[in-house]
């Protein structure tokens, strides 16, 4: 199969197309019956504040390495086929897509679980930071302890 040549990680400023990503997960992939995708978007509210925009910073090099490790662990734990993780950086606005995780597997349980696992670990291990602009000014977001406990449940 061509699994190994499939580019699994993309850190980019540009937007992505859900339809295009699903097409790539499915292309020449007749062995997998399940395709599970997650898309994260910029919300208009966060902790009671009206958000106007977000700026995402990351640590080039470490971001890719940490995502590779998370994907590798997911492949050890579940019987999954293709994986794609896209994370955008730079300035984003309300409704913009931030993150995409797509996983294929023969049957749905593996793809559902692996997708959630990858997302939960991305939240607490991949070095991205959000800076939020609202009427109250510009602030770096604080990490949520609920994200730590979600990742710990795996």
Footprint of other proteins on this chain (CB under 8 A)? 40, 56-59, 61-62, 65-66, 87, 98-99, 119, 122-131, 140-143
When the beta carbons of 41 and 107 are compared against other proteins, the nearer one is: 41
Give min distance, CB of 118 to other proteins, in A: 10
Q: Name the minimum Å distance from CB 131 to other proteins.
A: 8
Tell me whether residue 85 or residue 113 sits nearer to other proteins (CB atom): 85
Distance between CA atoms of residues 144 and 123, nearest Å = 10
> Maximum distance among all alpha carbons in the chain?
52
Q: Which is nearer to other proteins, 98 or 113 (CB)?
A: 98
What is the smallest separation between the CB atom of 36 and other proteins, expressed in angstroms? 16
Buried b (16+ CB within 10 A) or exposed e, 8-40: bbbbeeeebeeeebbeebeeebeebebbbbeeb
Indicate the residue among 84 and 87 with the shorter CB distance to other proteins: 87
Rounded to a whole number of angstroms, the minimum distance from the CB of residue 70 to other proteins is 12
Quick one: the chain helix, strand, coil %, rounded to 5? 35, 35, 30
What CA–CA distances, in Å, run from 136 to 48, 55, 89, 131? 11, 16, 23, 13
């Amino acid at each position: 199969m061509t699994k190994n040549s499939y580019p699994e990680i993309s850190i980019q400023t540009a937007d992505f197309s859900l339809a295009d990503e699903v097409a790539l997960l499915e292309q020449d992939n007749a062995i997998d019956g399940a395709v599970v995708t997650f898309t994260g978007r910029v919300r208009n509210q966060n902790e009671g504040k009206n958000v106007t925009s977000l700026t995402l910073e990351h640590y080039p090099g470490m971001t890719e390495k940490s995502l590779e490790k998370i994907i590798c662990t997911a492949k050890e734990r579940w019987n999954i086929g293709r994986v794609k993780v896209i994370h955008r950086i730079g300035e984003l606005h309300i409704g913009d897509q931030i993150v995409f995780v797509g996983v294929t597997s023969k049957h749905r349980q593996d793809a559902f679980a692996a997708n959630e696992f990858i997302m939960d670990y991305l939240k607490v291990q991949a070095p991205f930071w959000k800076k939020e602009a609202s009427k109250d000014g510009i602030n770096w977001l604080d990490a949520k302890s609920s994200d730590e406990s979600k990742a710990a449940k795996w």
